[in-house]
Amino acid sequence: MITPRPFMVRLRLDKKLIKTEGYVTLLSVLVVGAVGLAITVSLVLLGLGASQSSLSLEKSAQAKSLANACAEQALQEVRNDINFSGSGNLSLTQGSCSFTVANTGSESRLIIASGQAGKAVRKVKLNIDQINPQINILSWQELADF
């Protein structure tokens, strides 16, 4: 009977250790790669969300500016013609806006203006109690809805 030599036994044990270490290393690389991919995808999605929020805020600010521009135009119409009541609109490069002037008695007027930039819509309401010698604005407020 031949007895195994100690050198060969060690070689076999070393081969098993090498194969096991290779699987552990491969599995470790896969886990680290999956975690890295998850982090990358999360950062990309967060960046896209931030970009969309930023664009929405910009459009909202533009819509507010348009509503204020139409309110100013309505004030100019009232200044030009004391008896003015009616509506009008403006089209600018950022979007469009419209306004309505209602006579609420004597020199009192109610102005409602709305501005739209993309999907963003902002609205303002003005109350005037005097036109001559100067226009006196009682309130200028932004509205959620009319």
Q: Compute the distance between CA of residue 119 and CA of residue 60 in angstroms, rounded to an integer.
A: 9
Asked whether the predicted pLDDT for residue 123 surpasses 90, the reply is yes
Q: Compute the distance between CA of residue 76 and CA of residue 101 in angstroms, rounded to an integer.
A: 11
Structure-block tokens of residue 21? 């270490």
Q: Compute the distance between CA of residue 137 and CA of residue 1 in angstroms, rounded to an integer.
A: 114
3 state DSSP class of 118: coil
Residue 78: burial class (beta carbons within 10 Å; 0-12, 13-18, 19+): buried
pLDDT digits (tens, 9 = 90+) for 48-74: 888 878 888 999 999 999 999 999 999
Query: What is the pLDDT averaged over residues 16-29?
Result: 71
3 state DSSP class of 127: strand
Report the share of the chain in percent with pLDDT over 90.
Answer: 54
Closest CA to 102 of 68, 125, 123: 125
Residue with the bigger pLDDT between 34 and 25: it is 34
3 state DSSP class of 41: helix
Domain ranges of the chain: 1-146
Query: What is the pLDDT averaged over residues 10-30?
Result: 66
- Residue 106 has, within 13 A of its CA and on its CB side, a CA count of 6
Residue with the bigger pLDDT between 27 and 124: it is 124
